[in-house]
Chains A and B, each alone.
Chain A
């Protein structure tokens, strides 16, 4: 089988966004190899068995983002290697024309030559037992809100003054080493208030039918295209939770 290498070594959200690209190639007879930060392996190894993930020790520089993955993929004889970054500091590895016009998620599909609609064809193998275990651990009420106010580079102030009819607010915290364990909690919630993060991407790409608010945090080029029915709020609009409750109620 022909071997395809994808380079997107970290960023949980970025990897989730790009998983359908791997599936697309897998379905067309390619073996897809994907070096990722070893800390992400527990999340993805079981969930996306159509990808051969290659864990490695990541460093936050060109070596970690590009050179080491490149070496690993070349070492495994990849016929085709696609870096999925639309921007990488101190390199011009991205296609300047595409990067100048497309959002970062559109870029990944365009550079890989995969229809963008595939983004919402995210296929993961869920683990019902683990999901139920987490659900039982965190959910205490019938009607609850799930919120995530902390992203990798920002944190919003929490505000519980306007919980309204909801009986419980569940803040997403690193309770497991696998983000996919949260899916059951997310899909049964009365409302999701999610900052632009991997969880928002997961909810959107899986098409979970829940009332939801998306809290912006990035420049337009680095904000993903969303297909679900989201209410959108700015990160600088404080009291995001309260406003979200008010809007949905």
Chain B
């Protein structure tokens, strides 16, 4: 196995028989069809709450005992005995809490109870359902007044105890404690329906919090509840269902808005776009190498400089790759400091046409979110890689994936820029891992299924589907590659997964989990995808950029027909709708066909590979033009009428010029008229058309070279050689542009490749000779002179850049 790859074991070391039974038991009780039956049975055998006079344990003793549980959680979390002991502890402690709070509701006692709730969540006790009997006891306690409710919180996790009252129904003295309870998200999903159940509890708690904030945002209890809310604001469990996630974001934005009430905003000055570059300000605390920032960089780094001037308005400079990339593209870095009002005024005074906000969660107490509550520019865009509406009143539009369905928010949040999310080759990180079948221990597999994404998206429902697939494809195996994510422990995930796999009759050895793996560069991703045969999507979470990365690597995949699933949209776009499954049966059938029919797999892979150079997400030039058009269109429409713009329910879509030939004719005319800027603009409008892509890019590269932008021209020609690798002329053009841009290595590589394709091309040899002379490579120069002599060129002269330019212009 390659150094650096950490494989987490699955199987018996984490799982014991009794543990397995516990999970099966819980599954029976909480499987969707049986849930009602389980609840009904809970109501019947009511267990009486112990009398207050009965001897109870001291709360501090309970706390000490919990700390012991926590210290043994790593080794015992999966052990049945550990869980049984924990359930006993829950009951004893609930009794102690009930007695203590009936006697006295002091802050000290409430603090102790809250600490115990926090510790319970921290040690993973809330990830598993408690026994029905324990749940019944909790229900009984809940009927014994507020002290009983506090006791019930110890007995069962919030996602399971759905019979408990809402946050806003509790008395003020209990609210902070209860908020800590309801805002305590499971870190790992072990039961079907668990995520949905917790989401309902969470949304209800958000409503309660919003009521508090709107009633009295400065009160102690409001602040206390907000502190508990803040602790779980970015829980991954809440992001699994796009509809619920949207609802949560809108409510959260309302909380932030209510907390930071702003006076009516003055409309900023506006000016028509014609004839000038739009001034775009990126508002962020910093531009770090986060996935969100990198995906934004990818959209902005190729915005045409004649149409946009970019400023980065940040609290601090990070000198990250993302920041450097934007600065290299001419973005101006402006550091802003001081109070939020002062920062807002500075941005307003700078008169930006468009402000793009990069909030980064959590949003509560986030100064960028507070800035987003104001009107800083005529057009305000939120970049958030979920592609869901932010819910903020002054966000005019948000970035969505091309597949996004507009989600109705509040006060007209319907318009989305249907741009693209997902970091691609712009990612830069350390050395690539070696991913092969051997290094991941799967050389003997008949077919390797792969999942690349967050562990939290692998719900028990997903595991059930995957298990059916593995059972149907003998000899196949599954590799799960997860990025580093806080809050979800890979070892515990593996344990829970092993339990479920065994329960479903799949040997746990058929699945390998690689946790905390960062596949940041395009090369790393390609290597990883090359080691697997079929990429599987999880549901209901959208697969995000993984689908695009897989497609770019030519990796066949099966996805789900979820509204926001960009991988599904991509497959449909490529005419591979049969790989988008509407249900588990379709999913298994499609994946099985790919696994067993090698010819079919090859065809799908070829189709994906053929399209991948033009995948907009992996083509920063096309993405840049698409983004430019979307922003310009949004700007024009908002200047016309913001009200109308926000009421629009259709996504803003960028469109390539339909008539490529007519556009190219116009390009010729503009060049003849000397209006190079117009010619460039029209060529750029063809960047995301597949027809004549190589020709369009070559012509654009020629224009860019002439306009003194050889670096961009060289980057563009790199995409052309992917499309036309056998054309020696293109390699020569790349060599020339790279040389002009000062990229000597790239120039040499391009020219050497070009002469391999066509050894008779004198200009390539001449330019290569010139480069060899420049870098003082006498051996290479001598060899080239021999070749040139054989081609009949007596005195190898340096090629004239002018003549080469002329030949390029004649394209």
Contacts and interface: CB of A to CB of B under 8 A. Distances in A.
Interface string B673-705: 101011000000000000000000000000000
A92 B275 contact: yes
Contacts of A89: 274
Contacts of B275: 87, 92
Interface string B273-315: 0110000000000000000000000000000000000000000
A49 B666 CA distance: 31
A107 to B, nearest CB: 14
Interface in B312-340: none
Interface string A59-85: 000000011001100100000010100
A70 B673 contact: yes
A71 B662 CA distance: 11
Interface in A218-233: none
Given A89-B274, A92-B678, A67 B666 contact: yes
Interface in B648-677: 666, 669-670, 672-673, 675, 677
Interface string A31-62: 00000000000000000000000000000000
Contacts of A92: 275, 675, 677-678
Contacts of B678: 91-93
A161 interface: no
Q: How large is the interface on B (under 10, 10 to 19, 20 to 34, 35 or more residues)?
A: 10 to 19
B675 A93 contact: yes
A129 B80 CA distance: 113
B685 to A, nearest CB: 11
A90 interface: yes
Nearest to B662: A67
Nearest to B666: A67
Contact of B672 (A81, A87, A90, A91): A81
Contacts of B669: 66-67, 70-71, 74
Interface string B78-98: 000000000000000000000
10 contacts: A70-B669, A71-B669, A74-B669, A74-B672, A81-B672, A90-B274, A91-B670, A92-B275, A93-B670, A93-B673
Nearest to B676: A92
B222 to A, nearest CB: 52
Given A67-B666, A89-B274, A81 B673 contact: yes
B67 to A, nearest CB: 70
Contact of A83 (B274, B673, B677): B673
Given A92-B677, A92-B678, 6 more contacts: A70-B672, A71-B669, A74-B672, A81-B672, A87-B275, A93-B675
Top 6 A-B residue pairs of the complex, sorted by shortest distance between their CB atoms: A92-B677, A93-B675, A70-B669, A91-B678, A89-B274, A92-B678
A83 B673 CA distance: 8
Interface in A159-197: none
Contacts of B274: 89-90
B665 to A, nearest CB: 8
Contacts of B672: 70, 74, 81
A240 to B, nearest CB: 29
Nearest to B677: A92
B666 to A, nearest CB: 6
A166 B459 CA distance: 92
Interface in A79-107: 81, 83, 87, 89-93
A13 B280 CA distance: 39
A19 to B, nearest CB: 22
B667 to A, nearest CB: 11
